[in-house]
Structure 1
């Protein structure tokens, strides 16, 4: 099983950073040891896992609890 990336999004000097200042792409690359292919493969694996989890949850959830909401499995621009 692939290991999940652990993102380091805290500023080193102060220990905190506002979410608007965090560059997640840089954090992902750092977590992948600077290897862009490892980063892309990990993100694709995470996206696939989350799609599976969404499918399972939507299959088990009744129509009434979601009040007619249906999940979208792909991002719509």
Structure 2
């Protein structure tokens, strides 16, 4: 399993009222060594992992705990 994608984001850029906005696309590509194809590959792997975690959690949670909530596995 590949290492988790770790973004290097400067905390000063995220400060409230800061004029700069963090470009997440550039951050992801930079974290993947500048290779956009590797960035997409990593994001797809992360999405797949999160879908699996959501499926596992939905199997373990009762409807009472979730108050009738059921997960959606794809964006609508």
Deviation >4 Å, runs of 4+? none
Figure out how many residues of one structure are paired with residues of the other and give that number: 72
Question: What are the ranges of 5 or more consecutive residues in structure 2 without an aligned counterpart?
Answer: none
Ranges in structure 1 where 5+ consecutive residues have no aligned partner? none
The aligned residue for residue 13 of structure 2 is 17
Q: Which residue of 2 aligns with 1:65?
A: 65
Instruction: Note the aligned Cα RMSD (angstroms).
Output: 1.5
Cα distance, 1:64 vs. partner?
A: 0.3
* Structure number with higher relative contact order (C-alpha < 8 Å, ≥ 6 residues apart): 1
TM-score by length of 2: 0.88
